[in-house]
Structure formats: structure tokens, C-alpha cells
């Protein structure tokens, strides 16, 4: 993509309404634009990041054998009345009347709808275990939206739902999601820590929040350093190896990890040796629940067991805040110059900077490099405008692409270009060919 042909409205100054760094940087980098309180339009650059994150979430869900589907944003109130949540959910639910005066709502979550889908299509134990998910926009009419996309009213969420014949089987689904979540966040370059959580309005009795480490996070966290050092991506997972999954989950659930709300200084001191104590801040990006038959009973989602008994199906739900992750990643990864994207979620892999857009040799070299990078399938943002070098560097640093390939007349005389890594800022002069092979690797 050429910057000259792109819609990239970056700002030099920080818009006054943004108070936290991720929100400021998202606005400055031209990723989003606020449409109204807690509701955002995703501009081309931001949308690319959102899609990258969504795709990682999707791949890790698919890997567990969870089936992707899509439920609507607008739901009928009927099912919610059946489950009892039409009243319970309160003001946070956006209620709508259609032209026939039917009560509709913009879905804040989808337990009711998925349960209805399940009960209509599943009859017996042969139909479970079953895992389904979708990635869809949700609306929760928060009293006070803030922090940009981190706590919007409209947000993109991945929500998965599990259906099992009994608790033991449901636990396997829970463990699959637990491990999938660890992998998902690790792939985005984040350290995610599962913490025991309250089950909240969704209900149930087995629940973990996944908190990622970020110095500017909302909640204070206390945990064992082993969480941070464990590399979940080091070995492949076999989601059919139930015992293996349990081992991983057991490992993580045994270690101390609590937010300030549940923190117990004494227990922390007793359970965790001093050199392994980690205190920091974090942001919640995922939440998993087992809630048994809370919805299947009132909504009548029953299946027949091998013994010809009719039992309510055991369920769990598993959420990841996809749009929140965009902000959370920036909170976890930025510096004084701007965003520092972890490569897997970066909107482009490399920014190609032509330092002298009026110089024929520079133009020729850049056009050649641009064509070759694209041919190699490398996502490249080509800064081809006639601007001052300083302005180009500043903008490139702001939007935080992992690599900058800098082409200027001075280097070209010696047959070299400069390859700079955004994280850490190491620069290296090398020939065009070796720069290209480095970036294509």
C-alpha cells in the first residue's frame, strides 16, 4: 500500500478526550474515529489490526475443534424472557421496538440464542460434545464508556459455547478453551495470566479471567513468575489428549494469581517464594465460564443419554474481547514515539521509506523494492510522499510497523539501504538483496 493512496489521518497532537495511551495512540495513528460515546469507526489501518487479531483468535478456536458460525446482532426478547435475563440484565441491554411493536434487543451476549439453536438441532448424547463460536459485534449500554475501544459500548467479541452431557465432559471443553486462550494471547506477543474469577451475571461456578500484563492496566495483579516464564507455544497441543490438557490447566490453576480485589498478601507471601513474586498491572481480555444447566433448563435444551434419560445439556461460555485487544496490545507495547506492534498483529510488516521522493535513483530503487516485497507476499506500507525525512520517520514510528526499510540517496551511493527494527531500534545497513531476503524470511 502506498501512503500517498492510503487513508491515514495521523495527528501530531493528542486529542484532548483521550486519557490513556492506547486511546491516544489509536487516534493519533488514524486507526479509529469516535462515532459517539463508546462507539467507534475503524479506519483502514485499525481495521487491519482488528482483522489480524480476529484471525489469530479464529485459528486457535478452530484448532480445538470449535466450529465457527454467526449469530445476528439483533435478537428477539422472547428467549431472554424465557431465561429470565430480560429483567436481570437491566439498563445495560439496548432494547428496541420494531415497527410491529415487537420487543427486540441488540445482543450483549448470546447464551440464549445459541441454546435455542442447540435445542432445535440436538437430541441425544450422540450430538455432544459440541463447541461452537462466533465473532460478532455486541452492545452493552455501559453507564460510562471510556478508555477508547477498551471499554466501548459496541465491541467485537469472540464468544464460544460448549455443550456436554455431563460435568466431566464439560470440564474437557473448559480445559480446551483454557489452553486455547493461553496460546491465542501468546501468539499476539502477550503474556496472559489466568485468574480465578467471579462468575458475575452469567452465573455458574467455574470461571477464569485472562489478564494480560500491561504497566498501564486497570487492575493490579499479583502472581507467580512461573506464569510469565512458561512458553505455551513451545510445544504443539493435542486437543484430543484430555489428560495432557488437564496437566497444563492444573499447572496454571495451582499457581498464585489474583487481582487486587481478591489478593491476600499473607497467602501470596506463604505460597510464592520471594524471587518468584510478580506484582504488576493487567487488563482483562478473556473470560471463561462453566455454568452447567443454567440456560439449558429454563430454555428446555435436553438431550437423551445412552440410558434413555432426558437431561439438560451442560454448557459453558468463553469470551475474548477482540476489539479490546487492539487497545490492550498497545497498552502492553508502545514507547514514547508511538505504537510498537508485535509482528503477528501488525497492520503491515514493513514500512518502506523513500527519504527523497524527488530523487530519481531513490524512486527507482523504492519502486523496485516495493514490487519485489509485494511479489514475495510481504505486507508493506510504502511511504512514497514528498515530505521531510523527519516527518516520515515520526509518522512511521507512530504507527509502529515492526520493520522500517529506509532508502536514501546517501546509502544508495554505497549500494546499501537501512533496515530498522521498531522494537529496540536496532539499525543495520545492508544491500537491497539481503534486506529483501531478510524481510521475506
Partner RNA sequence: CGGGGAGUAGCUCAGCCUGGUAGAGCACCACGUUCGGGACGUGGGGGCCGGAGGUUCGAAUCCUCUCUCCCCGACCA
For residue 346, give the 3-state DSSP assignment: coil
Q: Which is nearer to RNA, 37 or 371 (CB)?
A: 37
- By CB under 7 A, residue 350 contacts RNA: no
Instruction: Write down the least CB distance from residue 218 to RNA, Å.
Output: 6
Question: Pick from 162, 125, 167: which is nearest to 309 by CA?
Answer: 125
Could you give the C-alpha distances from 92 to 17, 141, 145, 154, in angstroms and in order? Answer: 23, 4, 11, 12
Angle at CA 347, nearest 5°, toward 342 and 349? Answer: 70
Q: Give the three-state DSSP class for 241.
A: coil
Count of residues that interact with RNA, criterion CB under 7 A: 65
Of 51, 63, 281, 356, the one binding RNA (CB under 7 A) is 356
Q: Which stretch binds RNA (CB under 7 A): 50-58, 151-159, 185-193, 307-315?
A: 151-159
Please answer whether residues 351 and 383 qualify as being in contact, where contact means their C-beta atoms are separated by less than 8 angstroms.
yes
Q: Say how many C-beta atoms besides its own lie within 10 A of residue 324's C-beta.
A: 24
Closer to RNA by CB, 83 or 165: give it. 83
**351, HSE (Cβ side, Cα atoms, 13 Å):** 26
Nearest residue to 172 (alpha-carbon basis) of 182, 163, 159, 184: 163
Following CA atoms 81, 86, 88, 90 in sequence, which dihedral angle do they give, to the nearest 10 degrees?
A: -160
Least spacing, CB of residue 12 vs RNA, in Å: 4
Residue 222 sits in the site that holds RNA (CB under 7 A): no
Q: What is the C-alpha R_g of the chain?
A: 24
Kindly state whether residue 17 participates in binding RNA, applying the rule CB under 7 A.
Answer: yes
Exactly one of 106, 125, 155, 318 binds RNA (CB under 7 A); that residue is 155
Stretch near RNA under the rule CB under 7 A, chosen from 113-121, 228-236, 272-280, 385-393: 385-393
129: preceding bond cis by omega (within 30 degrees): yes
Stretch binding RNA (CB under 7 A), from 61-69, 170-178, 298-306, 386-394: 386-394
Window contacting RNA (CB under 7 A); options: 44-52, 68-76, 251-259, 318-326: 318-326
Query: Rounded to 5 degrees, what are φ and ψ at 200?
Result: 65, -160
Q: How far is the CB of 415 from RNA (least distance, A)?
A: 11
Cell of 224: 507467580
User: What sign has the CA pseudo-torsion 338, 157, 194, 130?
Assistant: negative
Per DSSP, the residues of 72-101 read -SEEEHHHHHHHTHHHHTGGGSEEEE-TT-
Q: Distance between CA atoms of 279 and 169, rounded to whole angstroms?
A: 35
Q: Determine, following the binding rule CB under 7 A, whether residue 87 of this chain makes contact with RNA.
A: no
Q: Which is nearer to RNA, 146 or 183 (CB)?
A: 146
Write each residue from 160 to 199 as x if it is in contact with RNA (CB under 7 A), else as -, in one continuous string: ----------------------------------------
Binding region for RNA (CB under 7 A) out of 245-253, 273-281, 402-410, 433-441? 402-410
Q: Select from 49, 309, 233 the least CA-distant residue to 156.
A: 49
Q: According to the binding rule CB under 7 A, does residue 153 interact with RNA? A: yes
Cell of 392: 516520515
DSSP string, 225-260: THHHH--TTSS---TT-HHHHHHHHHHHHHS-EEET
Question: Which residue in 389, 423, 430, 438 binds RNA (CB under 7 A)?
Answer: 389
Query: Does residue 10 belong to the site contacting RNA (CB under 7 A)?
Result: yes
Q: Which of 95, 151, 276, 372 binds RNA (CB under 7 A)?
A: 151
**Cell reading at 139:** 452492545
**Which segment (47-55, 167-175, 220-228, 352-360) binds RNA by CB under 7 A?**
352-360
CB of 332 to RNA, least distance (A): 15
| Pick 75 or 323: Cβ nearer RNA | 323
> In terms of CB distance, is 214 or 237 closer to RNA?
214
Which candidate, 54, 101, 104, 47, places its Cα nearest to that of 76?
104
Q: Which one of 12, 100, 235, 424 is in contact with RNA (CB under 7 A)?
A: 12
In a 3-state reduction of DSSP, which class is residue 31?
coil
Stretch that binds RNA, among 31-39, 115-123, 250-258, 371-379 (CB under 7 A): 31-39
Residue closer to RNA, measured from CB, 142 or 226:
142
Supply the minimum distance, in Å, between the C-beta of residue 235 and RNA: 28
Joined together, the cell numbers standing for residue 325 give 485487544
**What are the residues binding RNA (CB under 7 A)?**
9-17, 19, 28, 34, 36-38, 140, 142-147, 150-153, 155, 157, 200-201, 209, 218, 284-287, 319, 321, 323-324, 337, 355-356, 358, 386, 388-391, 393-398, 404, 406, 408-412, 418, 420, 427
Amino acid at each position: 500500500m502506498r501512503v500517498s493512496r492510503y487513508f491515514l489521518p495521523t495527528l501530531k497532537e493528542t486529542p484532548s478526550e483521550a486519557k490513556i495511551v492506547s486511546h491516544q495512540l489509536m487516534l493519533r495513528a488514524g486507526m479509529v474515529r469516535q462515532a459517539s460515546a463508546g462507539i467507534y469507526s475503524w479506519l483502514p489501518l485499525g481495521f487491519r489490526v482488528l482483522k489480524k487479531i480476529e484471525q489469530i483468535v479464529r485459528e486457535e478456536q478452530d484448532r480445538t475443534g470449535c466450529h465457527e458460525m454467526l449469530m445476528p446482532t439483533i435478537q428477539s426478547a422472547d428467549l431472554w424472557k424465557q431465561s429470565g435475563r430480560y429483567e436481570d440484565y437491566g439498563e445495560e441491554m439496548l432494547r428496541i421496538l420494531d415497527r410491529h411493536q415487537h420487543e427486540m434487543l441488540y445482543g450483549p451476549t448470546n447464551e440464549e440464542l445459541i441454546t435455542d439453536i442447540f435445542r432445535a438441532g440436538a437430541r441425544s448424547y450422540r450430538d455432544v460434545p459440541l463447541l461452537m463460536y462466533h465473532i460478532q459485534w455486541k452492545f452493552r449500554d455501559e453507564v460510562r464508556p471510556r478508555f477508547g475501544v477498551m471499554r466501548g459500548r459496541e465491541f467485537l467479541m469472540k464468544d464460544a459455547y460448549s455443550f456436554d452431557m455431563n460435568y466431566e465432559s464439560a470440564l474437557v471443553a473448559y480445559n480446551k478453551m483454557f489452553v486455547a486462550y493461553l496460546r491465542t494471547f501468546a501468539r499476539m506477543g502477550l503474556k496472559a495470566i489466568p485468574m480465578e474469577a467471579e462468575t458475575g451475571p452469567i452465573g455458574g461456578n467455574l470461571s477464569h479471567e485472562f489478564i494480560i500484563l500491561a504497566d498501564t492496566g486497570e487492575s493490579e495483579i499479583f502472581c507467580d513468575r512461573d506464569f510469565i516464564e512458561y512458553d505455551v507455544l513451545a510445544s504443539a497441543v493435542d486437543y484430543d489428549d484430555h489428560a495432557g490438557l488437564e496437566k497444563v490447566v492444573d499447572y496454571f490453576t495451582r499457581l498464585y494469581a489474583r487481582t487486587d480485589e481478591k489478593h491476600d498478601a499473607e497467602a501470596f507471601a506463604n505460597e510464592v517464594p520471594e524471587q518468584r513474586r510478580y506484582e504488576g498491572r493487567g487488563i482483562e481480555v478473556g473470560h471463561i465460564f462453566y455454568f452447567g444447566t443454567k440456560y439449558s433448563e429454563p430454555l428446555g435444551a435436553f438431550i437423551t443419554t445412552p440410558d434413555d434419560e432426558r437431561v439438560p445439556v451442560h454448557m459453558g461460555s468463553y469470551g475474548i474481547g477482540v476489539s479490546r485487544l487492539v487497545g490492550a496490545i498497545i497498552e502492553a507495547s508502545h514507547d514514547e514515539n508511538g505504537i510498537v506492534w508485535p509482528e503477528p498483529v501488525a497492520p503491515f510488516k514493513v514500512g518502506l521509506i523513500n527519504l527523497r521522493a524527488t530523487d530519481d535513483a531513490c524512486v527507482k530503487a523504492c519502486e523496485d523494492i516495493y514490487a519485489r516485497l509485494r511479489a514475495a507476499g510481504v505486507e508493506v506500507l510504502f511511504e512514497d510522499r514528498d515530505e521531510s525525512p523527519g516527518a516520515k520517520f515520526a509518522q512511521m514510528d507512530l504507527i509502529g510497523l515492526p520493520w522500517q526499510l529506509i532508502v536514501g540517496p546517501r546509502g544508495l551511493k554505497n549500494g546499501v539501504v537501512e533496515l530498522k527494527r521498531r522494537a529496540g531500534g536496532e539499525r543495520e545497513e545492508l544491500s537491497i538483496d539481503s534486506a529483501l531476503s531478510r524481510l521475506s524470511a
